[in-house]
Amino acid sequence: MPPASCKAGTKAFTLIELLTVTAIIAVLAAILLPALSKARERAQAVICLNNTKQLELASCLYAGDSGERLPYNLGMVGSQSRTDFNWVNNVMTWDLSSDNTNLVTLTKASLGIFVSGNASVFHCPSDQALSSVQRAAGWTVRIRSYSMNAMVGNAGDFSTNGFNSNNPGYTQFFKTTQIPKPSEIFVFLDEHPDSINDGYFLNKSPKKYSAGANSVTYNNAQWTDLPASYHNGAAAFSFADGHVALHRWVDASTVRPAQPAAAALPIDINYYADLDFDWVIQHMSIGN
């Protein structure tokens, strides 16, 4: 008697049938995986927008408890002292500094209480950038992806004279009531991981000159801090009126890989292709 697996009438796949099924699965995977990837990215962009919304709400709650004064927004690389009075109290690096992983630098800083100690709102889920040293140490992410517009809040030594010494021709907004068009001034954004360092997002406005009847371009313009482009070439912004939006970059030089040494700052801006820089400057502040 033949073994059970070889009984007469037993059906099995032929090699051709197996190859056909495998080919069908491969085709379906090729069709579905990009769609799933796009769906995942859209979901991460929504989370990122919600994070910037929560940070903006936290700054409004802070102002409500502080006579409408906006949070401290200190440049902590260089001259500024480290302090929990700042909206965050860490400086992102590519080494093994504890600032990259210590959640207390977020939750004990001035906005921590206004996000109920939820450190996850400080990190964009699309931000997976790490250095080789950090990956070798077993890290999965750094803890902060967002920065605050340098022209919003008390900038400490940079604003002791009532204006920001980095941009003296523009208004430093110390209070919510000083922002004339809140829907046009951004407060928080996701910053490029190679640029982010402290939480103070600064770009100095260069001299403007006219380039036609209805256009303005900039002379000797440079990106000092670079916005992120995690979301299909766009960055998340929250504005002083509370709304949030993804802004998509149009100049190829603005979109840099999300990895160490990718920003190559400062970036000189060609005045024939300065639309992204122009947009950021125009939504940074207003002229004095």
| Tens of pLDDT, residues 13-36 | 676 767 777 777 777 766 766 655
Binned at pLDDT 50, 70 and 90, residue 37 comes out as: low
**287 lies in a domain?**
no
Q: Is 240 helix (H, G, I), strand (E, B) or coil?
A: coil
* Residue 206, pLDDT score: 76
Do residues 70 and 63 make contact, with C-beta atoms less than 8 angstroms apart?
yes
**8 lies in a domain?**
no
Q: How is residue 183 annotated by DSSP?
A: G
**10 Å Cβ neighbour count for 22?**
10
Please state the rounded mean pLDDT for residues 72-98: 89
* Residue 26, pLDDT score: 75
**172 lies in a domain?**
yes
**5 lies in a domain?**
no
Q: Is 2 helix (H, G, I), strand (E, B) or coil?
A: coil
Residue 240: both structure tokens together: 């002083």
* Residue 216, pLDDT score: 53
* Residue 6, pLDDT score: 44
> Mean pLDDT: which of 37-51, 94-108, 255-269, 274-288 is highest?
94-108
For residue 248, list its beta bridge partners: 234
Planar angle of CA 178, 179, 185, nearest 5 degrees: 155
Please determine, for residue 5, whether its predicted confidence score (pLDDT) is greater than 50. Answer: no
- Placement of tokens 């090699």 in the chain: 15
Average pLDDT, the chain: 88
Give the torsion through C-alpha atoms of 65, 69, 70, 71, to 10 deg.
-70
Binned at pLDDT 50, 70 and 90, residue 243 comes out as: very high
**4 lies in a domain?**
no
**61 lies in a domain?**
yes
* Residue 138, pLDDT score: 97
Domain residues for 84?
A: 13-282
**7 lies in a domain?**
no
| Tens of pLDDT, residues 105-147 | 999 999 999 999 999 999 999 999 999 999 999 999 999 999 9
* Residue 41, pLDDT score: 80
Cα separation, 143 vs 81, in Å, equals 21
Residue 177: both structure tokens together: 């009531």
43 Rama sector, left if φ>0, alpha if ψ -120 to 50, beta otherwise: alpha
Instruction: Output the pTM of the full model.
Output: 0.84
Which of 87-91, 118-122, 251-255 is predicted with the least confidence, judged by mean pLDDT?
251-255
**237 lies in a domain?**
yes
| Tens of pLDDT, residues 150-174 | 999 999 989 999 999 999 999 999 9
* Residue 205, pLDDT score: 82
Q: In Å, how far from its chain's centre is CA 103?
A: 18
Domain count, the chain: 1
